[in-house]
Amino acid sequence: MKYKIITYGCQMNEHDSEKIAGMLEGMGFRPAAEDNEADVIVFNTCLVRENAELKVHGKVGSYKPLKEENPDLILAVGGCMMQQQEIADEFYRKHSHVDIVFGTHNLAELPVLIQQVKSGQNRIMEVWEGDRGLVPDVPTRRKNDYQAWLTVIQGCENYCSYCIVPHVRGQERSRPPEDILKEAENLAREGFIELTLLGQNVNSYGQDLEENINFPTLLDKISSVSGIKRIRFMTSHPRDFSRELIAVCAAKDNICPHFHLPVQAGSTSVLRDMNRGYTREEYLKLVEGIRQKIPETAITTDIIVGFPGETEQEFEETISLVKKVRFDMAFTFTYSPREGTPAAGREDSVPRQEKSRRLQRLMKVQNNISQEINQELIGSQQKVLIEGESKKDPDYYSGRTATNKLVIVPACPAKTGKIVPVKITEAGSWTLYGEITGNCQS
């Protein structure tokens, strides 16, 4: 029996897919190389922007012929999109070839639902409300044996006015610190060297717990687990990125000098309308504070253009912030109204064409900056964790610097999962190229 999982969206979803894989393997399933070998196909969906949703409709629809050819094939659709009741209802009606619809909160129930369908029950739609506490821990099949994601907090209560996530992933629920530390220790014992701590806002960690613990304290404890060479975390809300957190990151060698700090907009008025809880000046000060204490830090961000009411001048403030901060990289998006969010109640005032013009301009400015920053690294020596064959060419391998920059090196299979010194020889906006210095046989 074989399975396939198709994942959309963020790292949280990628990690949920690892849990789905772990549960399926626990049931005796093995990964399928091709679609037509699979007995179960699971789609793990996202609805953060309209595009993400449209992609899922198209992809799931394209599996109809395969299901008709092989009626025993089980198609299951879960993830954020299915957690939204009205969207799930419509989806279930529209895609009658789908056997199971489940949500993010009842992910752990998937094996039971699959069993029910296998034993002859008709289609099932089972989505729980988000008020049943933590989604329980389940077995996890990790993407490799040296890097692991570790959930520290589920849910989100930031209520940024454009964002559907809090309406889907529910209230903030921190995992007990003992559970997180035990998982980190087990992973270290199994040989994992890089941990990425996950949460929609990791900086809220602990606020809902009775014990007196916050994210910096937790991070400090995890970074002391022996054998863990790199620790990353995401996502951080700039509003809650404290001095205490900066101090812990500065003090610990194994906390990577890379912070993903979504700014979303460069003008204080737009930030206020977005309900972000900080001003342009506060954000700039935060970046300065980080760079002062942790030199050579990479800072990346997310930016939305064309938020309702965003004027040309306000957009220019985003451009000027980007130039001032000089982000290493930015993920840029055009605003997409999401039903049920406060911003969707406002007129989507920036025309589509204007949104895409702003996006193009922003990307151009940012790409130049990324390119300039990366070029300065030519000739330097970087410590790179080699992750295996590059996506484009098997003669090359890819890896990441501590600052999370992608580095391409000539193929070196013996180094996969190891941190090696690399001399940088070439640089683009998104990628560095280099050569492993020293012997590649060990």
Residues forming contacts to ligand 5AD in the complex (CB under 6 A) are 48-49, 162-163, 262, 264, 302, 304, 333, 335-336, 338
304 binds ligand SF4 (CB under 6 A): no
Distance CA 358, CA 364 (A): 10
Tell how strand 381-389 and strand 396-401 pair up.
antiparallel
Distance CA 334, CA 362 (A): 11
Residue 347: CB minimum distance to ligand 5AD, A = 15
135 binds ligand SF4 (CB under 6 A): no
9 binds ligand SF4 (CB under 6 A): yes
Count the Cβ atoms, other than its own, within 10 Å of residue 46. Answer: 22
Cα 92 to the chain's mean position, in Å?
26
48 binds ligand SF4 (CB under 6 A): yes
Residue 337: CB minimum distance to ligand 5AD, A = 7
Which H helix or E strand runs over 114?
Answer: helix 110-118
401 binds ligand SF4 (CB under 6 A): no
100 binds ligand SF4 (CB under 6 A): no
Q: Given the rule CB under 6 A, which of 45-53, 242-250, 364-372, 374-382 is the region that contacts ligand SF4?
A: 45-53
Check: CB of residue 395 under 8 Å from CB of residue 433: no
Residue 17: CB minimum distance to ligand 5AD, A = 17
- Tell me whether residue 302 or residue 316 sits nearer to ligand 5AD (CB atom): 302
Residue 103: CB minimum distance to ligand 5AD, A = 19
Residue 12's binding partner among ligand 5AD, ligand SF4, none (Cβ under 5 to 8 angstroms by kind) is ligand SF4
Residue 302's binding partner among ligand SF4, ligand 5AD, none (Cβ under 5 to 8 angstroms by kind) is ligand 5AD
- Tell me whether residue 74 or residue 343 sits nearer to ligand 5AD (CB atom): 343
Closest listed residue to residue 385, CA positions, set 186, 231, 202, 190 = 231
Q: Which of residues 52-81 bind ligand SF4 (CB under 6 A)?
A: 80
Residue 105's binding partner among ligand 5AD, ligand SF4, none (Cβ under 5 to 8 angstroms by kind) is none
Distance CA 428, CA 75 (A): 41
Residue 9's binding partner among ligand 5AD, ligand SF4, none (Cβ under 5 to 8 angstroms by kind) is ligand SF4
DSSP helix/strand/coil, 419: strand
What phi-psi label fits residue 39: left (phi over 0), alpha (psi between -120 and 50 degrees) or beta?
alpha
13 binds ligand SF4 (CB under 6 A): yes
Q: Which of residues 140-169 bind ligand SF4 (CB under 6 A)?
A: 165, 169
Distance CA 363, CA 330 (A): 8
Q: Which residues pair with 150 in a beta bridge?
A: 197
- Tell me whether residue 92 or residue 333 sits nearer to ligand 5AD (CB atom): 333
Q: Which residues pair with 273 in a beta bridge?
A: none
Q: Which residues pair with 198 in a beta bridge?
A: 151, 234
In single-letter form, the type of residue at position 212 comes to: N
The contacts of residue 396 (CB under 8 Å, 6+ apart) are: 389, 390, 408, 409, 410, 411
184 binds ligand SF4 (CB under 6 A): no
Tokens read off for 230: 């790199």
- Tell me whether residue 14 or residue 354 sits nearer to ligand SF4 (CB atom): 14
Residue 387: CB minimum distance to ligand 5AD, A = 23
47 binds ligand SF4 (CB under 6 A): yes
Q: Which residue is at the shortest CB distance from ligand 5AD? A: 302
- Taking the CA atoms of 176, 83, 15 and 431 in sequence, report the sign of the dihedral they define: negative
Q: What is the DSSP secondary-structure string of 50-78?
A: HHHHHHHHHHHHTTHHHHHH-TT-EEEEE
- Tell me whether residue 9 or residue 399 sits nearer to ligand SF4 (CB atom): 9
Rule CB under 6 A: which residues touch ligand SF4? 9-10, 12-13, 46-48, 80, 165, 169
